[in-house]
Amino acid sequence: MSYHRTLPATEPVRRYLLQMVAKSGSEPVRLLSERDLAEKLHLSRVTVRRAIEELEALRCIIRLPGRKGAFTNPEMASKVEHAVGIVVYRNYIGQLFSQFLSGISEELYSQGHPFCLSLFRGAGKTPAEQAFELENSGYDCVVWHTQTPEDLAVIDLLLRHDFPVLTICNPNYPEWGRPRRAWYGFDLEDAGDAVASRFLRCGCGKILYCSRNAEFLLPLRRGLSRRGVSLPDENVLLEEKDFFQRIPPLLTSGADGLFCRMNEASTTALLEFLAGMKNSRGLKIILPPRIFSERCRREYPQLDIEFPDTAYFQRQCIALGRRVAHGILAGKGPAEGVLLKSHRFRSAGEHDDSGVPDAGRGGGEL
């Protein structure tokens, strides 16, 4: 079977050997022969030899007088970096995921553990090929962000082999499923309850739901129902083409709250439309935490727009990164899933004066 790689040819065996060095303890451990390593990792002996020579030059691998083969150097065990493989949906790392990665780095460095991140691209490979490459790339752990249904087959193979893979489930795609263990996600029930509570505190009783994704609909409905407010089907708009036709008569009939969960371009188009309507002035608009929240408020001052506290959401992403860092050090994730609270609304006049995201402030609900 052919295994195509996206990493430098020597990197998988280099990371594999470094893991051996890190785990060797206080005595030198003899490594597999070049031939056995090449067979195990599906590499040529030339590539294996080159990697061994590189690590010999760094004193990570040593030769012992009178003994055949190469050995780990115990003196270098504590200096080996933790190697974390990162797999992200469509190779996209946004600002909030960057906050999550900063949480990993802060926690590992605070405990004296150097580490490196490596972006893994498995496109075009079968699940078995991807699992093989990940298991033999020398990663201490793999963090998988936004798994697709096809990715679950790879993750399941890794979990069956007890390989440490930690999955971050994207709440925008609940229909994609979750691994059987070692996953993290955001608590949509808590978020729906927080949004429902905010609408009622603002005096709203007739809410519109505008989104192409229905994943947040049930949590919001349940949150409203607990407070004696219904969200009927006629107030649910799941197609963008319906927004501009159905919103005007709904506003005329007394709709006073609107929740919109879409990408930036679609959200901007909806806000432009609402800003041009005279009867939208009393409409309370709540959007999910967004990096572009201040721009929305600045460009549409005539609209009553509110976001859950984005700084709080960022702090929770950092808290999640710190939690994952503990999994990296332990070599395993949680036996059950972990849900993170993501929505918090500030009281009137409340500001975040810290200027620095802090996972300990307002967070910890993991």
Distance CA 190, CA 187 (A): 5
> What does the pLDDT read at residue 176?
83
* Domain range 188-307, CATH architecture: 3-Layer(aba) Sandwich (3.40)
Distance CA 281, CA 171 (A): 31
Q: What is the chain's percent helix, strand, coil content, to nearest 5?
A: 45, 15, 40
> What does the pLDDT read at residue 246?
94
Distance CA 164, CA 138 (A): 12
Distance CA 271, CA 295 (A): 12
CATH of 11-78, one of 3.40.50.10420, 1.20.58.100, 1.10.10.10, 3.40.50.2300: 1.10.10.10
Instruction: Give Cβ neighbours of residue 309 (< 8 Å, ≥ 6 apart).
Output: 289, 344, 345, 346, 352, 362
Q: Where are the domains of the chain?
A: 11-78, 81-180+316-340, 188-307
Give the CB-side neighbour count of residue 253, counting CA atoms within 13 A.
Answer: 10
> What does the pLDDT read at residue 101?
86
Strand 284-286 vs strand 82-88: parallel, antiparallel, or unpaired?
A: unpaired
> What does the pLDDT read at residue 300?
92
Instruction: Give Cβ neighbours of residue 311 (< 8 Å, ≥ 6 apart).
Output: 352, 357
50 is written with which tokens?
A: 């080159």
Distance CA 92, CA 96 (A): 11
Fold of the domain built from segment(s) 81-180+316-340:
Rossmann fold (3.40.50)
Q: Residues in the chain with pLDDT < 70? A: 1-8, 95-96, 172, 290-292, 347-366
- Do 81-180+316-340 and 188-307 fold alike per CATH? yes
